[in-house]
Amino acid sequence: MAESRAEKHPHIPIRHVMDRIVLGGSDGVIEMIAMTAALNGAGVGVRTILLAGFAFAVAGALSMFFSTYLSRRSELDALRIDVARERMEIETEPEEERAELEELLKKEGYAQREIDVIMSRLVKDKKMWLREQLSHELGVRMEDLQSDPLTRPTSAGLSFLALSLLVLSPYALGLGLGVALVLSVGLSLAALFALGSRALVPRHFSLAGGLESAGIGALAAGLLYGVGLLVSAL
């Protein structure tokens, strides 16, 4: 038997959780740098920044986990409702469902003879028909129902925790507020660039995306540092 050939342009291996990693990590970095910069500008002591930062990192990670979990659970519940409805319609209204799918295939550019071949195959296998009906009519996949509901929330929560603590870490080195702020901002911009540019997936690297993410982080740090200075002057 001939060996199967490797895909020439492989997809992102963990794309189903990559968006959660980027979301959680970016939120953790931006919110932590904004908070620590504001406290730094207000002249708060290093110990206070560390305690507040650690509490924020843990609370934010838990919030990110549970909000993502609830969102994903709601998404899966809605998907199950869609699947049940489409299955019922295929059983009770097959002609209407067939007409809908044929019209969708026409809009995608299939010729009538091709549509006839496709439909003649699908009507013999209702599971296959249901899968195609969901895909073309609603843009959803049956396979999503089998996904682990904890994978995305865990990825988002851990990413938030790890990167927010990374941003906070310079304040634990005893280097003084000014130096800690500079190092913290530097780590933040590097982390945001890595997330925005998809540096962990070199084939899909985006310089523009990385610069945009880093720019947003720099803007947040600058604005909140200014707010801290303003508060301290009151």
If one compares 67 and 37, the residue with the highest pLDDT of the two is 67
Is residue 141 scored above 50 in pLDDT? yes
Which phi-psi region, left, alpha or beta, contains residue 143 (left: φ > 0; alpha: ψ -120 to 50)? alpha
Residue 3 — pLDDT band, cuts 50, 70, 90? very low
Q: Is residue 6 part of a domain?
A: no
The overall average pLDDT reported for the chain is 80
- Please give the average per-residue pLDDT across 86-91, as a whole number: 87
Q: Is residue 5 part of a domain?
A: no
pLDDT given for residue 231 in this prediction: 63
- Please give the average per-residue pLDDT across 140-167, as a whole number: 83
Q: Is residue 81 part of a domain?
A: yes
Q: State the first-to-last Cα distance of the chain, in angstroms, to the nearest integer.
A: 79
Q: Is residue 215 part of a domain?
A: yes
- When divided into structural domains, the chain yields a total of 1
Say which residues have a Cβ less than 8 Å from residue 169's Cβ, sequence separation at least 6. Answer: 184, 187
Q: Is residue 103 part of a domain?
A: yes
Is residue 10 scored above 90 in pLDDT? no
Residue 125 — pLDDT band, cuts 50, 70, 90? confident
Q: Is residue 152 part of a domain?
A: yes
Only one residue has tokens 């990825």, namely 155
Residue 15 — pLDDT band, cuts 50, 70, 90? low
- Percent of the chain residues past pLDDT 90, beyond the cut: 13
Residue 175 three-state SS = coil
- Please give the average per-residue pLDDT across 120-138, as a whole number: 83
pLDDT given for residue 118 in this prediction: 86
Give the count of alpha carbons within 13 A of 98, CB side only: 17
- Which range has the worst mean pLDDT, 17-26, 120-129, 157-166, 214-223? 214-223
Q: Which structural domain range is residue 45 located in? A: 17-233
If one compares 87 and 223, the residue with the highest pLDDT of the two is 87
Is residue 8 scored above 60 in pLDDT? no
- Please give the average per-residue pLDDT across 116-123, as a whole number: 86
Q: Is residue 1 part of a domain?
A: no
Q: Is residue 104 part of a domain?
A: yes
Is residue 143 scored above 80 in pLDDT? no
Q: Please give the Cα distance from 29 to 27 (Å, whole number).
A: 6
Is residue 184 scored above 90 in pLDDT? no
